[in-house]
Structure 1
Amino acid sequence: MILTTLPRTLSLVAAMGCLAFAAVARSDEVVSPPASQCQLFATGLAGLTAMCCDGQGNVLATNYRHLGSVGRISEQDGAALLFDAPLPVADQDETASLVGIALDDDQRILVLDSQLGRVLRYMPESKMVTTLADRIQGRRFDSLFAIDIGPGGNIYFSEPERASGDGATGSLYRFDVVTNRPVLLADGLNQPTGICLNSNGKSLFVAESGRGLISVYTINQQDGSTEKVAAYFLALLLDIDDSKEIGRMGHIAIDRRNWLYVSLWDRGEVAVIDTTNGKLVEVISCHSDGVFGLALWQDALLMSIPEKEAIYRYDLRPLIGRHAP
């Protein structure tokens, strides 16, 4: 994960500055992994599955067995259903679809319901699910995607678009655990999907599918405000002429080496970017039509493959051996 703040010389928000950074960052020789190292990890998923790890070797997965559920997957104990997201009284005919998941320091599970626009929290001791937020300043969330936990337990999450409005209507939010309400961090984003924070909580990475880029924000440790300081343009990194060919991006994750893993949802690939130098490390093929969720687990990358309703495990050790100093 990123251990140092990105240089201010890369903080030009102007398009030319970001383009220049991305052009320099592009690797001259992109290495493709030799043979597939993907192994089946778990089956029985429904819809789009997001994942996170609990620090005890277990994997938490959304939409396990059916939509609106969360399951725990363990190599030793197998898989089990943890809970179902309750539906509001007024929405009993709807179906919850949990597409984002995170775990806070108190082992409480946070999930995002994209269908009903809710941030939910599961308390393991009481086994109760409560709604933390479903609106901001009176407006209901239209769609939610990814979630992560920052310093002080504050919750960061993305909304790809609004039902009303044209153009780029996506937003980035922080749920302040002190005031117990959501705060708008950035708007006018073009399909913000995956998000993740580095280990010290000072840098926030946001995938903007509509622009084919990864935006990097610094987080002010005093007031929690954010400032965009850099961007990775995937078309330049992947040597693609038209950024539209990148398609949608799913979830993203960052490891202790500062390598950022980006789900190229529509391409069935994962791009690995070294954020210390802005270069593309490798592109991992999932040998499928799409890859949605990502999670780092032990020495592997877990990937949820919607068409196979399964999670696959990719051994990262050979990749690390090829590139790590």
Structure 2
Amino acid sequence: MTFIIPSRTIQLLALTGCLALAGAARAEDAISPPASPCELFATGLAGHTAMCCDGQGNVLATNYRHLGSVGKISQQDGAALLFDAPLAVAEPVEASSLVGIALDDDQRILVLDSQLGRVLRYAPESKMVTTLADRIQGRRFDSLFAIDIGPGGNIYFSEPERVSGGDATGSLYRFDVVTNRPVLLVDGLDQPTGISLSSDGKSLYVAESGRGQISVYGINQQDGTAEKVAAYFLTLLLDVDDPKEIGRLGHIAIDRRNWLYVSLWDRGEVAVIDTTNGKLIEVISCHSDSVFGLTLWQDALLMSIPEKEAIYRYDLRPLIGRHAP
């Protein structure tokens, strides 16, 4: 059963599974127990869930209630199923796993079908789901992961790896809305998973799981090409010797302060990096085995926790208070 817990009620609950980073006051000084910065937001998820916000505080989540679906979750209006991805003609029984989601300027929902390598678009007016792309130059996409919208409505998405080829065969693509086709943006990446564009669309951040790093690409505003300009090495920031200790990277998000939030998928943590100086701000622990999807709304970070089949809301205000200038 899916439910949403009002935030005032949550503050009174002793929630497990998240770590409160704010220090607890002494019992004799405290009027009431301090609220945890991490609250249960919604349950009822299936598989690995990606999320985005619609600008009004509503959360759009993939694999909601069952695989291959997209749901809308609102603390005011409750939760509802929006649509299901069309079943494949060749495998009509097997539901797809949707692992990436974004919202364009026309409020159309873009999702990525990981298993079938499809970029799908849902139009709320017609309630129709169409396939924007499932191949490039005749080759079908083998796996897709994350998606974001750039200037002019162009769509950026990642393909972690191809079945054919050797090492470091992951790629980034841009779906050009003018030509209505995908173009190769960057090739030769090592398991590119999460991606996030800066607010001005001039920088593209890419989580490369195979190398344990965040690669930064400058986007040419004239021709749309990308050039690598920087990299954040998570082995150095997290003080580990081997990228394998970091494990897989999930989704990433960037806020208005240019702080980058990186899902350390296999560690159940989120690393927060200040991209203005390349320094690690903090590591948020979820006290779970894994954390997958991330999205930001105002001063809160939403995280999908697969093992709990739930979304948690992390209050960023204590963290901002500790580190903002």
Instruction: Please give the TM-score of this superposition, normalised by the length of structure 2.
Output: 0.89
State the shift of 1:34 in Å: 4.1
Q: Which runs of 5+ in 1 are unaligned?
A: 1-31
Percent same amino acid at aligned positions?
Answer: 88
Query: Paired residue for 1:3?
Result: none
Superposed CA offset, 1:209-251 (max 9, x none):
0000000001011111100000000000111121210000000
**1:65 maps to which residue?**
65
Q: Distance in 1 between matches of 2:94 and 2:182?
A: 24
Does the Cα contact within 8 Å between 1:33 and 1:283 map onto a contact in 2? no
Please name the residue that 2:323 is paired with: 323
Inter-partner Cα distance in structure 1 for 2:196 and 2:243? 22
Letter in 1 for 2:162: R
1:208 corresponding residue in structure 2: 208
Equivalent residue number for residue 219 of structure 1: 219
Equivalent residue of 1:320, what SS? helix
In 2, the alpha carbon distance for the partners of 1:133 and 1:94 equals 20
Task: Specify every segment of 5 or more residues in structure 2 that has no aligned partner in the other structure, as ranges.
Answer: 1-19, 24-35
| Deviation, structure 1 residue 37 | 2.4
Aligned partner letter, 2:294? L
Give how far 1:94 is off.
2.8
- 2:80 is aligned with 1:80: yes
Which stretch shifts more, 163-172 or 86-95? 86-95
CA drift at 1:88 = 2.9
Q: In 1, distance between residues paired with 2:89 and 2:265? A: 34
Instruction: State the SS of the aligned residue for 1:199.
Output: coil
Q: Which of the two has higher C-alpha Rg?
A: 2
In structure 2, distance between residues paired with 1:33 and 1:229: 33
**Is 184-193 or 160-169 further displaced after alignment?**
160-169
Shift of 1:93: 3.1
* Structure 1 residue 83 displacement after superposition: 0.3
Judge conservation of contact 2:174–2:184 (CA < 8 Å) in 1.
yes
Measured in 2, the distance between the counterparts of 1:94 and 1:169 equals: 27
Query: 2:125 maps to what in 1?
Result: 125
How far apart are residue 293 of structure 1 and its match? Answer: 0.1
Matches within 5 A, 1:163-202: 163-202=163-202
How many residues get paired?
294
Contact residue 95 and residue 115 of structure 1 kept, 8 A: no
Identify which of structures 1 and 2 has the higher relative contact order when contacts are C-alpha pairs closer than 8 Å and 6+ apart: 1
1:167 and 1:218 map into 2 onto residues whose CA distance is 24
Are the equivalent residues in 1 in contact too, given 2:22–2:318 (CA < 8 A)? Answer: no
RMSD over aligned CA atoms reads 1.0
Q: What is the TM-score normalised by the length of structure 1?
A: 0.89
Q: CA deviation at 1:164?
A: 1.8
* Distance in 2 between residues matched to 1:298 and 1:83, nearest whole Å: 26
Amino acid at match of 1:82: L
